[in-house]
Amino acid sequence: MHAAAGHESAMIFGLSPMWVATLLFVAVYAIIMTDKVNRAIIALVGAGLAILSGVMTQHEAMGAVDFNTLGLLLGMMLIVNVTRRSGLFQYVAIWATKKVDARPWGILLMMSIVTAVFSAFLDNVTTVLLTVPVTLLITEELRVKPYPYLFAQIFASNIGGTATLIGDPPNIMIGSATGLTFNDFGIALTPIIVVIMVATFVPLYYVWGRHLRAADEDRRRVMGFNEREAITDPRLLKQSLTVIALVIAGFMLQRQIGIEPATIAVFGAAVLLLLDNFGKEPEEQAKNVHAALSEAEWITLMFFLGLFVLVFGIQKAGLIDMMAEVLLKATGGDFNVTALAILWASAVLSAFIDNIPFVATMIPLIKAMAPTFGGDAALLPLWWALSLGACLGGNGTLIGASANLVVAGLAERAGTSFRFVEYLKVAFPLMLISIALSHVYLVFRYL
């Protein structure tokens, strides 16, 4: 074992490193799909085994972890954890509801737009955790069925998250691996995301929207909400908004200032924590910081950590190159066919499996195609195909994205059930429409 850990070993337990890495990778992915073991645990166990069995050295494993992705995720999580205490999210949701005179369809649209915009800049799960309770409250007050609203919010969070570099983990990973900036993502993806948003809500109007009714008296009660009272800490609100604005400005100027998004996000989080805790007693500071740190989604972060190591294992072993070859053979080496195959396959797969491990595997695979297609720069459309497919595909089923399950869980607690097939019947066709639109967009703009 010592020899294996220290040097490149030809054989491990009588198997070639290629086999060991592949078996580990397949076993971990299979266990992730069964949902029997927490995904952070299984990814870390897999990563540990990859090092112990000598697939890679400890040093290589450290190098394989993309700290830019981890830092960006952590930084944004911390910023949200501090900001949420100000009441900003409730304020915006109630304000938006009153802007449409508490009309049921108007509220559905406004809550979806709010969710999409927040999701574009924040983690999708956090966004729905903050906005869904407001939706449940308002639908209860209006005595309308919450299901259509929650369904629409699931779509909005996944669609909105696709629009920017920081909106959804696949984009963060792609951005970090390719050096594509916040602006690159915005310019490439936001136009089609706006079109997809509109195209999604037209069918929703015909399925549910036109049947939604609320009594005038109930609407008056909702109009009586005072959104200003939702702001629980005005000082923190100003600090949070300032830091968020500066962080987003930093992302936009990423190329000019030459600083990676992770640094910008973590620095922003640190400054916000400093402002929030300035002048407070040491005990209170410790309590505040502890709360902000412990509420970060460590399961997601540790899952990423393990996955980066595992994917590096199969990359080092040569499996990724092999898979790339197989994919290229299947598409006949045709660039356009490859791009569209990535789009559709990512969408359908992401509807059923976690898109994070999928994208983590696809990134080196696409990179391995660079020589065939004439260098890294030529790969651009493939990245957008992967992003659109993996992010939007998550809408297809109830298990397609973490945000979907979080919404379903919250709805369940409030007495509305989300069933897999019932959701699928409307969601899967709508997801396919969004992918068809992405297909057309990619063909016209990039292929």
Partner 1 sequence: MTSAPIYNTDFSSLKDMDTVADATRRMLADRVSDLPVVDAAGKLVGMFRLERLFAVLLPKAATMDYGMPDLAFMSDTVEQLKRRMREIEHSPVREFMTEPGHVVHPRTSPMEIVLLLYKGANAVPVVTEDGGLLVGMVAARDVLGALQSEGAR
Q: Both tokens of residue 18?
A: 């290629």
The residue (of 91 and 304) whose beta carbon lies closer to partner 1 is: 91
Binding-site member from 225, 251, 304, 358 for partner 1 (CB under 8 A): 225
CB 139 → partner 1: shortest distance, Å?
A: 9
Q: Both tokens of residue 191?
A: 């136009």
CB 225 → partner 1: shortest distance, Å?
A: 5
The residue (of 228 and 445) whose beta carbon lies closer to partner 1 is: 228
The residue (of 108 and 262) whose beta carbon lies closer to partner 1 is: 108
Q: Does 35 bind partner 1 (CB under 8 A)?
A: no
Q: At what angle do helices 298-317 and 39-52 cross, to 10 degrees?
A: 40
CB 228 → partner 1: shortest distance, Å?
A: 8
CA 319 to chain centre: 26
The residue (of 60 and 227) whose beta carbon lies closer to partner 1 is: 227
Query: Cα–Cα distance between 79 and 270 in angstroms, integer?
Result: 9
Binding-site member from 59, 216, 226, 417 for partner 1 (CB under 8 A): 226
The neighbouring-strand residues paired with 12 are 15
Q: Which of residues 128-187 bind partner 1 (CB under 8 A)?
A: 129, 133-134, 136-137, 140-141
- B/e letters for 62-78, b = 16+ CB within 10 Å, e = fewer, are eebbbebbbbbbbbbbb
Q: Judge whether 197 and 108 are in contact, CB under 8 Å.
A: no
Sign of CA dihedral 45, 261, 125, 78: positive
Q: Both tokens of residue 258?
A: 């030459």
CB 229 → partner 1: shortest distance, Å?
A: 4
The residue (of 94 and 390) whose beta carbon lies closer to partner 1 is: 94
The residue (of 7 and 235) whose beta carbon lies closer to partner 1 is: 235
Q: Judge whether 68 and 311 are in contact, CB under 8 Å.
A: no
Q: Does 101 bind partner 1 (CB under 8 A)?
A: no
CB 230 → partner 1: shortest distance, Å?
A: 4
The H-assigned helical ranges of 65-123 are 67-83, 88-99, 104-121
Q: Judge whether 292 and 82 are in contact, CB under 8 Å.
A: yes
Give the CA distances from residue 282 to residues 81, 206, 285, 287, in Å, rounded to whole numbers and listed in that order: 20, 56, 5, 9
Binding-site member from 232, 291, 371, 445 for partner 1 (CB under 8 A): 232
Stretch that binds partner 1, among 23-31, 45-53, 67-75, 406-414 (CB under 8 A): 406-414
Q: Judge whether 165 and 180 are in contact, CB under 8 Å.
A: yes
Binding-site member from 47, 55, 78, 94 for partner 1 (CB under 8 A): 94
Query: Cα–Cα distance between 358 and 356 in angstroms, integer?
Result: 5
Q: Which of residues 62-91 bind partner 1 (CB under 8 A)?
A: 87, 90
Q: Does 228 bind partner 1 (CB under 8 A)?
A: yes
Q: Which of residues 414-443 bind partner 1 (CB under 8 A)?
A: 414-415
The residue (of 224 and 333) whose beta carbon lies closer to partner 1 is: 224
Stretch that binds partner 1, among 106-114, 265-273, 407-415, 417-425 (CB under 8 A): 407-415
Q: Does 238 bind partner 1 (CB under 8 A)?
A: no
CB 135 → partner 1: shortest distance, Å?
A: 8
Q: Judge whether 161 and 124 are in contact, CB under 8 Å.
A: yes
Q: Does 224 bind partner 1 (CB under 8 A)?
A: yes
- Per DSSP, the residues of 2-40 read HHHHHS--S-BTTB-HHHHHHHHHHHHHHHHHHT-S-HH
Q: Judge whether 275 and 243 are in contact, CB under 8 Å.
A: yes
CA 425 to chain centre: 23
CB 357 → partner 1: shortest distance, Å?
A: 26
The residue (of 134 and 347) whose beta carbon lies closer to partner 1 is: 134
Query: Cα–Cα distance between 7 and 4 in angstroms, integer?
Result: 6
Q: Which of residues 104-133 bind partner 1 (CB under 8 A)?
A: 129, 133
By CB under 8 A, the count of residues binding partner 1 is: 23
Query: Cα–Cα distance between 330 and 318 in angstroms, integer?
Result: 19
Q: Does 230 bind partner 1 (CB under 8 A)?
A: yes
Query: Cα–Cα distance between 335 and 223 in angstroms, integer?
Result: 54
Stretch that binds partner 1, among 234-242, 278-286, 383-391, 411-419 (CB under 8 A): 411-419
The residue (of 40 and 134) whose beta carbon lies closer to partner 1 is: 134
Q: Does 234 bind partner 1 (CB under 8 A)?
A: no
Residue with tokens 């020899």: 3
The footprint of partner 1 (CB under 8 A) covers 87, 90, 94, 129, 133-134, 136-137, 140-141, 221, 224-230, 232, 410, 413-415
